[in-house]
Amino acid sequence: MSVHKEVKKVTTHVLQEMKANGEKISMLTAYDYSLARIVDDAGIDVILVGDSASNVMAGHETTLPITLDQMIYHASSVIRAIDRALVVVDLPFGSYQGNSRSALESAIRIMKESGAHSVKLEGGSEVIESISRILSAGIPVMGHLGLTPQSIYKFGTYTVRAKEEEEAEKLIADAKLLEEKGCFALVLEKIPAKLAEKVAKEITIPIIGIGAGGGVDGQVLVLHDMLGINNEFNPRFLRKYNNLYEQIISSITSYIDDVRSSDFPNDKEQY
Ligand code: KIV
């Protein structure tokens, strides 16, 4: 019997059972009430309030500018919309690196002020003290390895990570470390499919991939990308399920035409 069909609320334990049962986990981003409600109603397992809100919602070039207060605002809007999905919230750049005490304070603020169920942060051994401290407060943590967009100025580009052996070995060691410390799941972003599959086989926590092939335990995409709202972003890993950009343009141009021609409002559309 499939685990995900039975559950009324997805928890970290449900995700673990899904992996054990060989059921793939579906995850999408959401940053606001209205879209989160649709995503949850559609039956998604996990909603990520990603720091990609910095790009998608605010139009920044990178994820670095978004603040903890802004993440809490997005997360609390999403939380008000959902009944079933597990909600994971990104700790933004600068809120956890370097100082495990402020990392814990940031995670506590997210949990208390938004009502979210868990947090995600980028990195392996470099941030392990922060991860351990957050976990020790009973806050579930999702890891994120591979392409970690908060380190874009270190990488220099958004190309595929861990193609070389040294970086692949570090990624495997970091994945094992995150599992050992108690992370409940791990995102692997833009790495070779074979490497991601190896990690998913070698560790017991669910591995959610984005641009990491089909051999992992689940997939995540940015909602606005997969709906085709943003028509400028076309990486190889992205499957577009709609072209909302075109559909929204068409609706708005019809509205403009109707207003200009005085077709809208008609007799039935007024008091
Ligand atoms: O912020 C985000 O949307 C993410 C996903 C790309 C995994 O971290």
Look at the pTM and tell me if it is higher than 0.85.
yes
Cα separation of 217 and 201, whole Å? 9
Residues 89 and 213 in one domain: yes
Decide: 128 and 180 in contact? Cβ < 8 Å. Answer: no
Residues 105 and 224 in one domain: yes
pLDDT reading at 202 higher than 90: yes
C-alpha 52 to ligand 1 mean position (Å): 6
Residues 95 and 109 in one domain: yes
pLDDT of residue 78: 98
pLDDT reading at 160 higher than 70: yes
Residues 64 and 87 in one domain: yes
Interval 194-220 mean pLDDT: 98
Cα separation of 173 and 32, whole Å? 36
- In degrees rounded to 5, what are phi and psi of residue 75? -65, -40
pLDDT of residue 52: 98
Place of tokens 């995409």: 221
Decide: 176 and 203 in contact? Cβ < 8 Å. Answer: yes
Residues 265 and 226 in one domain: no
Residues 23 and 148 in one domain: yes
Interval 217-240 mean pLDDT: 96
pLDDT of residue 1: 67
| 189 labelled catalytic | yes
Total tally of structural domains belonging to the chain:
2
Residues 56 and 89 in one domain: yes
* Domain span at 253: 243-271
Confidence of residue 146 (pLDDT cuts 50, 70, 90): very high
pLDDT reading at 113 higher than 80: yes
Residues 267 and 186 in one domain: no
Return the half-sphere exposure (C-beta side, CA atoms, 13 A cut-off) of residue 213: 14
Residues 135 and 259 in one domain: no
Place of tokens 């606005």: 224
pLDDT of residue 158: 94
Residues 169 and 266 in one domain: no
Q: Whose CA is nearest to atom 1 of ligand 1?
A: 50
Which amino acid is it at 211? Answer: G
Q: Whose CA is nearest to atom 5 of ligand 1?
A: 50
Residues 127 and 217 in one domain: yes
> Strands (DSSP E) along the chain, which ranges?
25-29, 46-49, 86-90, 118-120, 141-146, 185-189, 207-210, 218-221
Decide: 81 and 44 in contact? Cβ < 8 Å. Answer: no
Cα separation of 121 and 2, whole Å? 30
C-alpha 248 to ligand 1 mean position (Å): 24
Residues framing ligand 1 (Cβ under 6 A): 29, 48, 50-52, 90, 187, 189, 210, 220, 222
Look up the CATH number of the domain holding residue 69.
3.20.20.60
What is the signed CA dihedral for 213, 159, 222, 97, rounded to 10 degrees? Answer: 110
